Each structure stands twice: as C-alpha cells, then as structure tokens.
Structure 1
Amino acid sequence: MRVALVHYHLQGGGVTRIVCHQQKALGRHDIKTVILTGKPPAVRDAGDYRIVSGLQYEADRPAVTPAELAAQMRAAAGAALGGPPDLWHVHNHSLGKSLVLPLALGLLAARGERLLYQLHDFAEDGRPGNYRAMLAAMAAGRRQILSRLLYPQGGHLHYAVLNRRDHQFLCEAGLGGDHLHLLHNPVDLGPVAPEVFPAAEREPLWLYPTRAIRRKNLGEFLLWSALAPRGTRFGTTSGPENPVEQPRYRRWLQVAGELGLPIRFELVQPGGPDFSALLQRAEVAMTTSIAEGFGMAFLEPWLLGVPVFGRNLPEIMPPAGAEKLCQPWTYDRLDVPLDWLGRGRIERAAQEGLRRCLAAYGRNPGKDDVHRVLAAWIRDGGVDFGRLDEPLQETVLRRLVVGQAQSALMQPMDVATAASRGDAVATNRSLLQNRYSLARYGEALEAMYRQVARSATSAIDHLDGEILLDRFLAPERLSLLRVD
C-alpha cells in the first residue's frame, strides 16, 4: 500500500509530532509513506518527505490554483512512492490555514481518489477569523457552499478525529459511522535519559508543560500558585510565539511579579534542560487548559512517573471502561465566590461575550441563550473561574492574595500521599505503554487504511456545516477566554 501524508508544515507542534509518529509507526508495516509538506522541516525526526510549496499557509504560499496544487501533489507523491497513492491522509484541511487546499482535495475526491481527512482542530471552534476568511474567499458568503467544500461525504472519503466530542458532532452533522474513525494519538516521548532526580529527592516543582497560549488558562495556574503550601515552586515550559498572544501573556507575567507568586516562566531555554528532562524533574504536572483536541498534558507525565493535577476535560478524554485512565487529582470546574465579582458584572460579561462570539460567525443570540450560559457558569453561589476572561480572573486573584483569610473559601491543592501516587502512576504507565504505544498506533492505522482502501467510490454529498456550528457555538460551551 502507498500512502501520502499531507500537512502544511513540519515546523514543530502537536500535529507535526503526530504526522512524524504516523510515518514511524507505519514503518513496521507493509505500507510505503511519504510526507508532502509546504517547506523544509524544522524537526529532526522527519522521515521521507517532499516539498510542495503550494501547501504552505495562506500568507506564505506562492500563487497556485486548486488544479495546479492537486497536480503538484499527485506528481510529488507518485515520484516518491513509485506510483499514485492508494490513499491520501490529510491533516487539518478545513482549519482555514489554506484557502486552496480544500478545493484541491475536492478535485482529487471527484476523480475517485480515496481520502482520509484527519481533523485535529475546527475553524468552527474558537477560530472565527479563519472561518470568515474561508466563507468570503471560497463560498461567496454562503455557509452551505462552504460546508460542501470543507466536508465532502462519499463512499471513498473517510474522516478521523481524536476525541469523543468531535466524533459525536460529526455523526450529528450526517457522517456515517463506518466512514468516521476515532483515532487516539500515541503517547511517545522518544528516548528519555535515566532519571537524575529520584522521586524522594525531587524539589516541589509543579510544572505546567505547555506553551502558555490563551486557552491554556494561565490565570488559573497563577491562582493555584497563590494557594500552594509555602516552599512550592511553579513553572511553565514555554511562552507564546503568536504576537497576538503577547499582550495578555505579558500582563500575567506582570501580575505574578506584583503579587510575589512563586512562578518561573519559560523554563525550557537553550542550554538548559529539555522538555522531557524538565517534566521528569517535576513533582507534579499541572494543566488548567479549557480546550484541547486530545490532551497530551493528561497523559505524557505518567510515563515519567509524574502525577497530573488540574482541570479535567471529560469530553476529550478516552471513554470509561476497563482501561480508563486514573485521574484522582483533577476537577471539572473551579468555583470562586460569585459575590467577589457581583452577579450583575457576570451577567453583563456573559451577555457581551455571547454576542461577540456568535457575531464572529454571523449569528445572533436566541431568547434563552444568556440564561443557558449563566446556568453553565454559576452553581451554588460560585462561578467557574475557567469561564472568566483575564480582567475578571485578575480581580479574583488579587482579592485572594491580598485578603488571605478568604483563601479558606477555595478548595485546597491535594495530590495525596506517595503511596497512592505510586498506585496511580503504575496503573497509568501500564495503560499508556500498552494502549497508546507506537506499535499499537501503527496497527490501528493499518486497519483503518485497509478499510479506506476497500471503500467503493460513490457520488459526493456533504455534511451539514450548520449543525457543526450549532454544536461548537452552544451557549453552554462559552468561555470568555475563547472570545476575541
């Protein structure tokens, strides 16, 4: 079997890691692969690849028509594989990073070529700028046309997603179950140096192993640092690269300094410990993120014997069952007293946030939508901290630090005893090494590819993109950290 893996770039990041994992995992199987990408890779573990410059992001790519891009992809794949690919495995085609790739793929689909669209992220989920650009440039402002271009459906077209939420949403949008695959990411840190700091000798570092972009909810990380026992240190691995993220990030750095919080930022630096070594050194790994596609932060630390504490995201975690991940130190919401902010202020924030969120997608709130938002945000006199924007979070944080007596109103940090940690670590490490290994991942990919390759070609229809918007824009899902 010949497979072309397609992604805009190999410049680092979560999707790049998965594309490289896929090629590595398939190397043990009778499947020949090549990665088609827009420019030379920046990662060291890229395998066999070919450059197709028209695959670059919209702002970087040379001018190319859909027909030209499709022809370039077919030529590059055929030359590398010794013949045309049996299927195309394409990553994040519908995210809005390219206004020509979805159209080029449509031409391949119309020829009867088999495609597997793997969706890691959605333009409908907190990326309104991307969505509007596609709507204007590709569909003349008509959402039904955009749905046809982004989400074609046919016997020879399959989709793969990372979590139960996306699987459910696509099913509800009309995708048949035998053409929709739930493909959990592998969890593989690669070669890791022997542990230098045994558990008994670890300093009390609570590490957030993340690039501190907005949806990672940095304010909540600062809040926990204010509640921690004296002597506990906190740290993040990386800062944001996107210039749009910088003002909010710099503000949190300023607030942490003003309040004397025990946090060091951007611990992964040239000449210092790398990501894996730093994570291995931590006593606890933290996550306060409010939105993920898969959630590596919940999984990777356990491989190194490090327990995870923080905000749970049930809809993106693997389903319950005999092989359920043990998560004794996570929480589904973090309520702070509503009267610290005032109900009126929260209601106004909810109303304005909902209006702006929907307006970004060309929609208006329904009669009961604000009530649905508030019902999700407020419970028993408390409001979920993760739903608030940065100014509201800062107000809470300053009140908590300045008025220390009120910290009793907040739940304490607790990662239990060393003995119970050991039980959880052993359980989760075994699960990850077996269920989420590269070998297991390669087997799942091969089975999926065989199914796609056997699929008969058919006429092409499309999913209902309005249903996808309905699901992602449901008022209950609103968090102000995802509103521009």
Structure 2
Amino acid sequence: MRIVIVHYHFFPGGVTSAVRSSLLAMKSAGRAENIEFVLLCGHERGIGELTELLRCTTLDIKGFVHPEIFYRQEIWPSREAFEDEAIRISELLLGYGKKETIFWVHNPTIGKNPALTRALIIAAQKAEKESLPYCFLYHIHDFPECGRPNNLKYLLNCYPGGGLKILYPESLNTFFICINSSDRGLLIQSGVPESKVFFLPNAISVNYEAASVTSTVHVDSALEKYAEKHGYVFKKGSPWWLMPIRLIRRKNALEAFFLEVLDEGMQILITLDANSQPEYPYANAVKDVIRSEKASGMVGFGAELVGKAFPFDELILASRAIVTTSLMEGFGFAFLEGPIHGKPVIGRNLPHVTKDFGQLGLPLDDLYDSFYVPVSENSRRQLKEKFQIFALHYSKLAGVRPLAVDRYLSKIDEIYEN
C-alpha cells in the first residue's frame, strides 16, 4: 500500500507537527509495515528536514515538491483556465497512485488554493469511474466557513463570474477526518453521511524527563543570543511564559503581552513567525509594538532554535507556563502541551475544542471563557457599526444563510448593548 500525504507546505507549525506525530504514532503502533509513504507539497522549505527525520525511524518515505500545490492568491483569468489547471493537478496527484493508494490531504478546503480543492474532486471522480483502488481522505484542521470569510470568498469566486460550488464531495471514495468532535458534528449536520466522517485527534509525543538546571540554562543562553540578534528584550535568568503558536491574528498574540502587567518580570515567548503574505501585516505590527515598547519577550525563534539549539520538549519544560489567548483553534495543541509536560495552561478556554480534553480529565478550571473590558458608549457604537458592515459583506457570499447572519447580529447586540 502507498499513502500519499499532501499539504501546501511543510513549514514548522500545527499541520506539520500533526503529520509528523501521526506517522510516528503509526510506526510506534506497528501500523506502518509494508506501507510506502510519499510527502507532496508546494514549497521546498521544511520537506527535506521532515522527510529525513521520518526516514531515520526506518519509515519508507520520500518527499516531492510541486509548486502548483502551494498557496495562491490571484484569481484565474477564466473558468476554462481554472479547470485546465485543476485537471493538470489532478493528473499530477493520480500519477502518484500505485496499486492500493490513500491520498491523505490536509486542509484541502481551507481556501489557500482552489485549484487543488477542485483537482481532488476531479481525481476522485476519475478514480471512481476507472475503478482505481484509491481512497481520498480530507483531513480537516480548519474550516473556511469558521472565521475566514476571505478564504471562503476566494473559493466561491476564484475566476470571473464564479468559483467552486462543491467543497465537501460526495464521491464513494472520499472520506473526512476531523480533529475534534465538534467539527465532526458540524460536517454531519451539514449533510455528510456519519459513516464517512471520522474523529481522529492529533497524536502527541512527549519526553517525560524533567528539565535539569543545566538544560534550562542552555535554553536560556540560546534565547538570549536570538533576542540580541533580532532586537528583542530578553532577561536571562528571568522566567518566561511560552506561546507555542504561529503569529497570526486569530491567536490574539499581542494581547498576551498584556499579561506581563499581571506578573512583573514575566516574559512572553512566541515560537513561530507568520509564513504567508496575508499574515505579515499583523505579524509585523505585533513585532513593532514589542520592540518599540521594549516588552520582555520575542517572536519567531522556533525555526532557528527548536530542534537545533534545543529540542521542543526541553523548551516547554524550561518554561513557567503555556499561554493561549486564541480566538479560535482547530485542535488546540497548546491546551495539551502544558499538562502533559507538567506545566499549567493560562488563558482563554475554547469549549468547542477543550470539551474533548475535559472528558479525558485534563484540568480546565483555570481558563476563562470570556473576558469583558469596559468600553465607552461611543467606542461601543463604532465597534458595533463595524461588525454590522462586516455582517452585510459576509451575507453576500454564496451559501451564507440569512439565519446565520441574524444570529451573528443578535450576538453583537448582546455584547455591545450590555
């Protein structure tokens, strides 16, 4: 059997971690025997390191780069041009089929490349028509329908006059994986047959050895050098709170730095910088504020230091706590990485994600569900108007039901009228 794992890229981050941990878990459980693994992505960064790491575990794995699989922001000049590219990508994918093959595709509906989304549908239809022994697994980490209106708009309007009409195909050889039970419920409620939607939480591996004083000093020294090189303030010897995230807007990263006010001397460390064009303006603004205000902490050291100067487990064990202030998560690694290393988690609870963890006995009592800040009447009115304009814009997207818009506006009224 061959398993072809497809993603836009294998940069450091949540999806790459999930892919790595899933394959290591399969290997550990003895479920990788007689399986040939193939990694496909659209950018060369990261795939070499990931392939080599997995190959060192004796997995039979190879990696290949095809730029047409990577992110795309521009619309196609015509429907014909869009379909032509989607067909080319589908043929590329099917070219990796070999006897029994599973195409395990991560986040194919997120709206980063509509041609890939369409190509998977075409490939599945062709495989079904020709009775090829191929299966297509859509591994959903995030939905474009959940807080990503620009992504959804791009999918529905990726060429003049139209775009994709089907994101979640009904072909017999296509199935779906959700990383939390809430998302699985959403897909089923939307009409996907229950038998075709699987709940597969992300695998996590951990080194349970306690951090020694020597290792803590080692991490401290490496972080100090990074801070000096990149213009951040880092107080060697002082404790820090770790945010093992990528610097994107929904992570609410800047707000986390306000926590320093609550604990004088505490520092905030954010592991990964932004890695795509739409994310850069917010990320650059956050970094500018951190540097200009001389806040204690830093951003983006993970790509340079983690796995090279020190392992990720050692970084967590040397931290005082894990912080999460995110507005929205798919799986929520941060909620687990603290407790399994014996570290507390500080920040905002996301019940649609953490209910799965709570059922396993993870402590969630110290997290807050919401945090209301006093705002003047004039500011409340201005904010409310902005959200109403957003709702009007969002309501024009195909597939957005009036009931959903009304429910959103009702919630806005509830927040800003109280």
TM-score band (shorter)? 0.7 to 0.9
Aligned residues: 365
Go from structure 1 to structure 2 and tell me whether the alpha carbon gap of 1:26 and 1:300 turns closer, same or farther (over 3 Å shift).
Answer: same
Structure 1 position 42 matched with structure 2 position 13: no
Over 3 Å counting, the alpha-carbon distance change for 1:66 and 1:237 in structure 2 is closer
1:98 alignment partner in structure 2: 113
How far is the alpha carbon of 1:126 from its aligned partner? 2.9
Name 1:177's counterpart in structure 2: 194
SS of the residue 2:139 aligns to: strand
Q: Encode CA deviations 1:176-229: one digit per residue, 9 max, x unaligned.
A: 21111111001125x68861239999953222222222111123212221122x
Give the TM-score normalised by structure 1: 0.65
What is the DSSP-based 3-state SS (H/G/I as helix, E as strand, rest coil) of the residue aligned with 2:338? helix
Deviations along 1:281-310, whole A, 9 cap, x unmatched? 111111111111111111112232211111
The letter for the 2-side match of 1:196 is S
User: Which position in structure 2 is the counterpart of 1:123?
Assistant: 144
Matched, 1:76 2:91: no
Distance 1:92 1:248 in 2: 23
Mapped to 2, the partners of 1:36 and 1:206 lie a distance apart of 34
C-alpha distance 374-264 of structure 1, shift in aligned 2 (>3 A):
same
Q: Which secondary structure does the structure 2 equivalent of 1:16 belong to?
A: helix
Contact 2:94 2:123 (C-alpha < 8 Å) held by counterparts: no
The C-alpha deviation readout for 1:421-457, integer Å capped at 9, x for no partner, is xxxxxxxxxxxxxxxxxxxxxxxxxxxxxxxxxxxxx
Residues 333 and 92 of structure 1, relative CA distance in 2, 3 Å threshold:
same
Cα gap change, 1:358 to 1:180, in 2 (>3 Å): farther
Match of 1:137 in 2: 158
Question: Which of the pair has the greater relative contact order for Cα pairs under 8 Å at 6+ separation?
Answer: 1
CA RMSD of aligned residues (A): 3.5
What amino acid sits opposite 1:127 in the alignment? Answer: R
Contact 1:99 1:134 in 2 (8 A): yes
Task: Decide whether the 8 Å contact of 1:50 with 1:76 is kept in 2.
Answer: no
Does structure 2 conserve the Cα–Cα contact (< 8 Å) formed by 1:203 and 1:283? no
Q: What is the CA-CA distance between 1:255 and the residue it aligns to?
A: 4.5
Residue 319 of structure 1: aligned partner: 356
TM-score by length of structure 2 reads 0.75
Tell me the distance in 2 between the aligned counterparts of 1:355 and 1:101. Answer: 32
- Matched ranges for 1:10-409 at <5 A: 10-27=10-27, 28-29=30-31, 30=33, 32-38=35-41, 39-40=43-44, 42-43=46-47, 44-46=49-51, 47=54, 48-51=61-64, 53=66, 54-58=68-72, 65-78=85-98, 83-85=99-101, 87-110=102-125, 111-112=127-128, 113-137=134-158, 140-141=161-162, 146-148=164-166, 150-189=167-206, 195-197=211-213, 203-228=238-263, 230-256=264-290, 261-268=295-302, 269-270=304-305, 273=310, 275-319=312-356, 323-337=360-374, 341-360=375-394, 362-363=396-397, 369-375=408-414, 377=415
Q: CA deviation at 1:332?
A: 0.6
**CA deviation vs aligned residue, 1:405-429 (integer Å, no higher than 9, x gap):** xxxxxxxxxxxxxxxxxxxxxxxxx
Q: Which amino acid aligns with 2:38?
A: I
CA shift digits 1:80-117 (9 cap, x unpaired):
xxx241x3222111122222222222223223243221
CA distance, structure 1, for counterparts of residue 409 and residue 200 of structure 2: 35
Matched letter for residue 64 of structure 2: I
User: Residue 4 of structure 2 contacts residue 40 of structure 2 at CA under 8 Å; is this kept in 1?
Assistant: no
Give 3-state SS (helix, strand or coil) of 1:319's partner: helix
Aligned partners of 1:178, 1:334: CA distance in 2, in Å? 39
The residue identity in structure 1 corresponding to 2:185 is Q
Q: Secondary structure at the match of 1:372?
A: helix
Q: SS at the partner of 2:185?
A: helix
Answer whether contact 2:4 2:96 (CA < 8 A) is retained. Answer: no
| Alpha-carbon distance in structure 1 between the residues aligned to 2:407 and 2:100 | 53
- The percentage of counterpart residues that share the same residue type is 25
SS at match of 2:145: coil
**What's the secondary structure of 2:323's corresponding residue?**
strand
Whole-angstrom CA distance in 2 between matches of 1:198 and 1:50: 37
Aligned match of 1:444:
none
Q: Which amino acid aligns with 1:331?
A: Y
Bigger mean CA deviation after superposition, 105-114 or 89-98: 105-114
Structure 2 CA distance for aligned equivalents of residues 11 and 235 of structure 1 = 19
Q: What residue ranges of structure 2 are gaps of 5+ in the alignment? A: 55-60, 75-80, 129-133, 218-236
| 2-structure distance, mates of 1:275, 1:259 | 28
Contact kept in structure 2, 1:206 and 1:234, CA below 8 Å = yes
* In 2: Cα distance, 1:50 partner to 1:361 partner: 41
Q: Distance in 2 between matches of 1:324 and 1:117?
A: 29
